A = this chain, B = another copy of it.
Amino acid sequence: MATRPMSHIEQVCADKGMKMTEQRRIIAHVLSEAHDHPDVEEVHRRSAAEDPRISIATVYRTMRLFEEAGIVKRHEFGDGRARYEETPATHHDHLIDVRSGKVIEFHNEEIERIQQEIAQAHGYKLVGHRLELYVLPLDAGKATEE
The answer to whether A91 has its CB under 8 Å from any CB of chain B is no
The answer to whether A126 has its CB under 8 Å from any CB of chain B is yes
CB-based contact B124/A137 at 8 Å: yes
| Known contacts A130-B132, A131-B129, A118 near B137 by CB under 8 Å | no
Q: How many copies of the chain does the oligomer comprise?
A: 2
Determine how close the nearest CB of chain B comes to the CB of A29; give it in whole angstroms: 27
- Bound complex: CA A102 to CA B77 (Å): 22
8 Å CB contact of A129 from B97, B104, B120, B132? B132
Nearest opposing residue in chain B for A140, CB measure: B125
Determine how close the nearest CB of chain B comes to the CB of A88; give it in whole angstroms: 17
CB-based contact B114/A138 at 8 Å: no
